Amino acid sequence: DVKVTQSSRYLVKRTGEKVFLECVQDMDHENMFWYRQDPGLGLRLIYFSYDVKMKEKGDIPEGYSVSREKKERFSLILESASTNQTSMYLCASSPPRQSLNYGYTFGSGTRLTVV
Amino acid sequence: AQSVSQHNHHVILSEAASLELGCNYSYGGTVNLFWYVQYPGQHLQLLLKYFSGDPLVKGIKGFEAEFIKSKFSFNLRKPSVQWSDTAEYFCAVNGPPTSGGSYIPTFGRGTSLIVHP
């Protein structure tokens, strides 16, 4: 089975800090995604990447950036954390971008609290 | 652009009751459809998916979903729920492709299901 590992389960950071959320997948998937999950809002796409060094903005990219230097690793960066970025962050991966019929494998999530 | 609507935000049932969770989407072209489940404290898991063929799809744990193209719907059903089905359920739809050719799923807002023993 594909495994998607997020480095931290819980994080508490201060307003203004630069925050790195790390995600690693072990099945050579081309696509990787970062979502945030908030009650009543479901999952909202922040950024995704379909290849090394390639990225596209999702629905809510403001205040975030990403890095994909290696195929297996996709990092989400909060340049200057704010309290409205307190949320559950989910990483996911999937096979090639032209494929319609693949589901996504999700990591366990990182619950970030910004104080 | 794609939008996905889940009409029921909170559903409370007793064990053995039947379940139907609604999901409608907006894009009229080729789509793939998914239901994901998130049990308390666990990560999102794929419950079932439709990409072609028989519009009635069977998934894990006795769940099924029916794709009705004319209604842009993909409703999730289970004839008899159990306490262990308590979870949050998300409908997701792939399509249309982005300008870069990527198929990115759009998720509904989720339905919280509570099953009383």
Give how far Cα B35 sits from Cα of A38, A75, A104, Å: 18, 26, 11
Mean pLDDT of A93-99: 69
* B110–chain A nearest CA distance, Å: 6
Residues of A in contact with B21 (CB under 8 A): none
Across the interface, do B100 and A103 touch by the CB < 8 Å criterion?
A: no
Across the interface, do A40 and B109 touch by the CB < 8 Å criterion?
A: yes
**Could you identify the residue written with the tokens 């989910």?**
A90
B29 versus B55: which is more confidently predicted? B55
Rounded CA-CA distance B68/A111 in Å is 37
Tens digits of residue pLDDT in A23-51 = 999 988 888 999 999 988 889 999 999 88
Q: Is B113 within 8 Å of B22 (Cβ atoms)?
A: no
Structure-block tokens of residue B73: 């719907």
CB atoms within 10 A of CB A70: 10
In this prediction, what percent of chain B has a pLDDT beyond 90?
A: 68
Secondary structure E strands in chain B: 4-5, 10-14, 19-21, 24-25, 32-38, 45-50, 56-58, 64-68, 73-78, 87-94, 105-107, 111-116
Using the predicted structure, report yes or no on whether residue A89 has a pLDDT greater than 60. Answer: yes
Across the interface, do B100 and A56 touch by the CB < 8 Å criterion?
A: yes
Residues of B in contact with A107 (CB under 8 A): 43
**What band does A102 get if pLDDT is binned at 50, 70 and 90?**
low
| Nearest beta carbon to residue A103 from set B30, B34, B102 | B34
Across the interface, do A101 and B52 touch by the CB < 8 Å criterion?
A: yes
Tens digits of residue pLDDT in B19-39 = 999 999 998 788 889 999 999
